[in-house]
Structures are given as structure tokens and as C-alpha cells.
Amino acid sequence: MRFPLHIATDMMRWQLKNWWAGNSRVPVVLMLEPLHTCNLACIGCSPERYTGDLRDRLPLSKCFEAVDECGAPVVSVCGGEPTVYPEIVELVEGIIARRKHVIMCTNAILLDRFYKKARPHKRLSINVHLDGMKETHDFVVDRAGVFDKAVAMIREGKRLGYYVCTNTTVYRETSVDEIEAMCAHLTELDVNGILLSPGYHYEAIEGDDHFLYLEEIHAKFRRILELSKRYRKISSTPLFLQFAAGLREYPCTPWGNPTYTPKGWKGPCYLIDGQHYPTWKEFFGGVDWDYWESRKDPRCRNCKMHSGFEPSVVRKLGENLGDVVTMARWQLESVRNRRAA
């Protein structure tokens, strides 16, 4: 994923520090879920995410403890819906005060409330969920009007001076023509980044369906890879897009984006409801990382999630000079585009 230069620099510093300390497994983005409450009930989402019960949310102190223990330079605040978290502004400000970068992932329904209380900061990105254009997105989130609200909040965020990105999951059913229309629309809105990631249903591991599914994802991402050459706001790395298109392979890096929830540290990854660990030490020392990196588990066979594999792009970069050149060009291009804007 493309980060602004000051964030990329912080991430490099963090990697060097760990390399110097001899740490081979280094978390880069903490996925912090302060609550499992949501104001939407999207199709396919687990029912526990929209209970409406705020009592099981994490207290601020536990969130900050997780940020400090994990140490990752970037914290992605997700959930549930983070703008429903009553202490969201204090949480964002507290993470920024720790000199971390915050990505707040939101469906945008309550963003106006957040904008009234918060203020833009160079360490804060607003990441709006959009799974297509109006008809598709409103269908996925199972509520009319959410697409229009999201677009209005993107506009308002840009007007107020926020760094605003979007996050799209591409499913088997998603049309790439629609993704292109969405990229054109978001480019007009001058968003700062468009993250596109393959959807993943690990329940579909029986029979031959998943092979078809994987081939379809590859075909879609071959087209998206081409789109990324025209729509420069697409922020998934070119090497990740090649992986999603089936043009290269990577081991998984599940420890790159560890997840902390009201139930504890979730292992092995954001997707698999394996086990929850009460402490960072038990989690980081307790998960069999060799096994999960290998992708031997049937649930991993078709997974191409950016949270598992964008860190692999970084981890494996030094092994191929051509890849280093590709990534350096891509990052420099984004700096040039920003200067030209």
C-alpha cells in the first residue's frame, strides 16, 4: 500500500531499528478493533459486529496499551464502526501523541459528527469503505443512501483538509468496468488513495469452486493491474497487484498486521477466527508463524488479502533488484504526482 512519504520514512526507520536489533518478524500495521458494534449490517459480515451493544468495547487504556506493546508505526482503527466508539477522538489523538500514524476505516455514516470534534493532522488518514458505485455499494451495505453519504463525506473531508482514501473489496461478483467507473469518480473527487483488495471466502474450500474463484480473481486483477497504470491514485503496490493477478507468489506475513479486539489478540490473522490471546507476549510468542507463513492451511489456499501479503512485498523486496527498482519508481512517481497537484 502506498503511504505518504513521511509515513514511509517512519516505517523504514522502524524496520531498520528492528533489523539492527535482530528481530526477523516485525509488525508494521496494528489492526485495532476498539469495538464490535456497527451501525450497518453488511451482507456477509459476522452478526457479532452489529450487536449495537457498546458495553463490550475496549477502554482507551487497553487500546493504548496495545499500541505501545505492538510498537507498529501505523495503527488502523477499524471494528465494528470506529465513529460509533464514544471516545474515538480521544483515541485518535492519543495514538497521534505516541507519534504513530492513524488510518481510521469508516463507512462514513457518522463522519460529520467526527469532523465536528476532530481536526486534520498529517498523521491521520480517513479511509472510507466503498465497494462499488451507488447501486452495488448500497446493496452490499444493505441500506439505501450510504454511497451518497460516503461521497458527501469524502468531499467534506477534502474540504476540511483531511487526507482521505478509500478501501474497496473486489468480490467474485464485482465487475471491473464498475471498478473503473469508481476509480474515475474518486479521481474527480481528488481522493488521496484508492486501495483495492481481493475478497476472500475461505468457507469455499470444498469442491472445485474455489479454483474457479481464484482464477476469476486473477482475471479481474490482471485488468486492475492495467487500470493502475492509468489511475495513479490506486494505492495497492504494483507487486501486490501482480500477486493478486496470479503473476507471482508470496508466503503470507500474518504477523505484519496483528489484530487487537475486545476479545484480545487475534491469531493467526485478521481473517481467521483462530484463537484470542490475552497478552501481546502470549500472542506473538504463541502463534505458529512458520505454519501460517507457509499457507499450508486449507483456509489460506485462496487468500490474497492485502493485510497478509502487502507486508510480504516489503519482506521479500531485497531478494530481487528488479522489484526494488519497480517499487522505487512507483513511490517516486507518487511524490512527483503530489508535487504536480
The answer to whether the beta carbons of residues 63 and 100 sit under 8 Å apart is: no
From 340, 274, 331, 338, select the one nearest 1 (Cα to Cα): 331
Distance between CA atoms of residues 40 and 84, nearest Å: 11
**What minimum distance in Å lies between the beta carbon of 309 and ligand SF4?**
7
Q: Which stretch binds ligand SF4 (CB under 6 A): 53-61, 70-78, 148-156, 300-308?
A: 300-308
Q: Which stretch binds ligand SF4 (CB under 6 A): 117-125, 168-176, 302-310, 322-330?
A: 302-310
Distance between CA atoms of residues 118 and 52, nearest Å: 24
Q: Is the dihedral of CA 159, 1, 333, 183 positive or negative?
A: negative
- φ and ψ of 50, to 5 deg: -130, 45
Distance between CA atoms of residues 157 and 151, nearest Å: 10
Helix or strand (DSSP H, E) at 306: helix 306-316
Of positions 132, 254, 264, 311, contacts ligand SF4 by CB under 6 A: 254
90 or 216: whose CB is closer to ligand SF4? 216
Q: Identify the bridge partners of residue 64 per DSSP, sorted by sequence position.
A: none
By CB under 6 A, residue 217 contacts ligand SF4: no
- φ and ψ of 115, to 5 deg: -60, -35
**What minimum distance in Å lies between the beta carbon of 74 and ligand SF4?**
17
DSSP 32: E
Distance between CA atoms of residues 40 and 25, nearest Å: 35
155 or 299: whose CB is closer to ligand SF4? 299
Of positions 128, 195, 227, 305, contacts ligand SF4 by CB under 6 A: 305
Q: Helix axis angle, 176-188 relative to 209-230, nearest 10°?
A: 30
Distance between CA atoms of residues 68 and 95, nearest Å: 9
**What minimum distance in Å lies between the beta carbon of 276 and ligand SF4?**
15
Tell me the number of residues near ligand SF4 by CB under 6 A.
Answer: 13
**What minimum distance in Å lies between the beta carbon of 113 and ligand SF4?**
33
Of positions 4, 198, 267, 308, contacts ligand SF4 by CB under 6 A: 308
Of positions 78, 154, 303, 313, contacts ligand SF4 by CB under 6 A: 303
By CB under 6 A, residue 272 contacts ligand SF4: yes
By CB under 6 A, residue 300 contacts ligand SF4: yes
By CB under 6 A, residue 132 contacts ligand SF4: no
**What minimum distance in Å lies between the beta carbon of 44 and ligand SF4?**
16
**What minimum distance in Å lies between the beta carbon of 200 and ligand SF4?**
7
The mark string for 20-59 relative to ligand SF4 (x by CB under 6 A, - otherwise) is ----------------------------------------
From 11, 67, 62, 74, select the one nearest 35 (Cα to Cα): 62
Radius of gyration of the chain (CA): 19
By CB under 6 A, residue 189 contacts ligand SF4: no
**Contact positions vs ligand SF4 (CB under 6 A):** 252, 254, 268-269, 271-272, 292, 295, 299-300, 303, 305, 308
